[in-house]
Structure 1
């Protein structure tokens, strides 16, 4: 180290001790400083050696070995462009802040800066940036293709580090420095390449949820149009979105058109569009005839609302078909993974939930233990004890995968409904809701979600099905 530190009235040059690791052939570096006492004391007898870790400290790698923290290129990612800056350590910048576009020439600037930084420090630097939803995906893909090591920082961790200052200042240029400080102050592991199958599953699940949102909106619009044209139609078909219900509406969109048909013709039409017996079709045709006699439509046959209803029916059918196709594709992919059958063996979890839960968890073997998996889902309890506050019975952190939390809650609800199989989830729920200090139903359900996730971890780790 070239710098010199001042302690009291003495200028003391720091030096380092390199200690070989006992487990491996790697070395651990401890910067040390000679400390002397007041003037007049015997430096030889009163000199001490203090060992302290600096920003460029040794950190453990994923295999337990010790390695030096290397230089980095901090990237503040925005939509369409980013700011980059090289750092030798947390206080020493290698270059000025540079703005680049998210294209090949812009990303090549990162490689150019990395080459210069590696040559200067004689190290293989890493690229550090925050997770920014979809905006960092192009950068991540470019780094993967070029074999560049990178680290993705949690934005919450970066924001908390920035807010430690008394006067918080935030600009794109300052963000690069903050990201570099977060990197040098914490122990991060490089992002391991993700299996293509897990990535595809997760993306399909996100698309499935997006399609479900569109389907919900289409159903709302459909119900509004149906209430104008055919009010009370849901009394005849409580399940509005079955094939027979929608086919009747497409063929006879107005009650008057439906009323002109005989019971026999309606029964024959229903026979073609469902799997029920003839008796059911005749009964349903009779209900439709009675409905048309009592129904008072909110529009005429040639009204524009009839056309709107037909359009909404097509949208609902379109999104139902897309949702089914996407879900089926997810299930087919998930069946290639051994964990799929293990998760599906839990009472209340079918192919649908098993595939979606597996998509959001990913490779479960990357978690060291069930606690890490619970924290990833964000259902770990908040710990906050101060004074008279004992820190017990607090809310969950919710700092994790919200989609996985929703799926776990849904899986718990399904497990509670299963009466034909013994379920440890149902037993745990009954225990929590009937103990002396009984939990509220929703709190007990969240506790069951925590237990369910631990069960999933145990099944996937051992390779044994649920018993």
Structure 2
């Protein structure tokens, strides 16, 4: 006798269908709140080891998932694409009620595997990684706004330091958003103010910066007067950039603190070119790598698995599917550049593969064509390495197949 709970989750409600072999025992709609989950719990307690299956619906299914985890019920959480393919033949009339029933009925046919239960720390790392991505997107947008407003208030200030970035630079912009703010000031006064922003810089360097800033102010002719609203806008933009940048650093520190006890933190950190920031972002996006049955499944998870198409005599060029975690894909793509840079002092087999494939590329106008494809291929090689190291608990060592921790 197989008892199956099929649950179709939506924003506020969930449709539940309970079947006993081929017989429908109970069907209802519950709210996705404490009262609704208590009603579900009451029915779950009526059976021993019930099978539970539901479709992952983004943030909406997280409440149900948390409830089942806290009540220590194992379940099968279906990928939406897999669920669609499995239910397409049954959806002659699609409703939430029918979807819940069909999820339960097909569970008896497909015998789906239970979802791997990850430690809650991986969920926290994922949330922090997504928060970091959002803050980084806001930071890029705010930097563009700051650049635009500076072109109207004090464009020359962008050259006062080596690069127009960093807390020291943003403090300078907030203090002197317009050349009129420097009128009647002496190098000594400006130096004193700059030392308040950063007391780790030597006094001669601070004085040189103050003199340069005053010269830039004397030669500047901005697009707006000193009493223009754009001056306040520039100060606001600079303050927001500074806050967002500090928040990014704070998130990474929090992720490092959470991830350090995990065994894969030390393993991934042993890969040449991997710094703590890259490691925690990857752990956050990939989760517990041990839940994947093979490295090919890990490739599919981030969307670099190849799509092949051929018909008759026509064979299309292979392309990656791009169905998966695009954030992890971006982190890995940047990691290949870091690995290549670090290979000068720390050789590794991923860079060997990357450089060997680059030499085989056709050259047009003195430049190789197809470097991105080679980088994606190197990402696949890197993922296989990561999967092997984590699942076998080994540190990376160039030229050595096994290195136990």
Query: TM-score with structure 2 length normalisation?
Result: 0.87
Higher fraction of helix: 2
Q: Which moved more, 1:180-189 or 1:207-216?
A: 180-189
Alignment of 1:26-425 (within 5 A): 70-89=2-21, 92-96=23-27, 98-115=28-45, 118=47, 124-164=49-89, 169-274=93-198, 275-390=200-315, 393-418=317-342, 419-425=344-350
Conserved? CA contact 2:170–2:241, under 8 Å: no
In 2: Cα distance, 1:387 partner to 1:187 partner: 36
Contact 2:54 / 2:103 at 8 angstroms: preserved in 1? Answer: yes
Query: How far did 1:409 drift?
Result: 0.8
Structure 2: distance between partners of 1:459 and 1:157: 29
The runs of 4+ residues in structure 1 deviating greater than 6 Å are 436-439
Q: Is the 1:162–1:168 Cα contact (8 Å) retained in structure 2?
A: no
CA distance in 1, matches of 2:331, 2:109: 35
- CA-to-aligned-CA distance 1:298-328 (integer Å, 9 cap, x gap): 3222222222222222222222222111101
Cα displacement (A) at 1:115: 5.0
In structure 2, distance between residues paired with 1:233 and 1:428: 44
CA shift at 1:446, angstroms? 0.4
User: Shift in Å at residue 453 of structure 1?
Assistant: 0.9
Q: Structure 1 pair 280/388, CA: closer, same or farther in 2 (3 Å)?
A: farther
Q: Give, in angstroms, the shift of residue 103 of structure 1.
A: 1.4
CA distance in 1, matches of 2:263, 2:191: 47
Q: Give the conservation status (yes or no) of the 8 Å contact 2:303–2:322.
A: yes
- What is the match of residue 359 of structure 2? 434
Q: Which residue of 1 aligns with 2:386?
A: 456
Give, in whole Å, the separation in 1 of the partners of 2:166 and 2:395. 39
* Structure 2: distance between partners of 1:241 and 1:436: 37
Contact 1:349 1:415 in 2 (8 A): yes
Larger radius of gyration: 1
| Partner-residue secondary structure (3-state), 1:232 | helix
Change (3 A) 1:171 1:228: farther
1:253-288 CA-to-partner distances (Å, cap 9, x unmatched) read: 221112432233333433443434344333323322
Q: Give the Cα–Cα distance (whole angstroms) in 2 for the partners of residues 286 and 334 of structure 1.
A: 46
Aligned residues of 1:81 and 1:99 also touching (Cα < 8 A): yes
- Structure 1 residues 178 and 385 mapped into 2: Cα distance closer, same or farther (>3 Å)? farther
Greater shift in the superposed pair: 382-391 or 354-363:
382-391
Q: Structure 1 361/313 Cα, relative in aligned 2: closer, same or farther at 3 Å?
A: same
Instruction: State the Cα distance separating 1:223 from its structure 2 match.
Output: 2.4
TM-score (norm 1): 0.76
- CA offset at residue 79 of structure 1? 0.8
Higher relative contact order (CA 8 A, sep 6+): 2
1:400–1:436: structure 2 CA closer, same or farther, 3 Å change rule?
A: closer
Query: CA separation in 1, counterparts of 2:180 and 2:369?
Result: 55
Distance in 2 (alpha carbons) for counterparts of 1:280 and 1:83:
68
- Alpha carbon RMSD of aligned pairs, Å? 2.5
Task: Write the distance in 2 (CA, Å) between the matches of 1:88 and 1:232.
Answer: 75
CA shift, 1:334, in A, is: 1.8
Structure 2: gaps (5+ residues): 363-367, 399-405
How many residue pairs end up in the alignment?
390
User: Residue 306 of structure 2: SS of its match in structure 1?
Assistant: coil
Give how far 1:182 is off: 4.1
- 8 Å Cα contact 2:4-2:20 kept in structure 1: yes
For the 8 Å contact 2:361–2:370, the answer to whether it is kept is: no
**1:173-206 superposed Cα distances (whole Å, 9 cap, x missing partner):** 2322342344333232223432133232222222
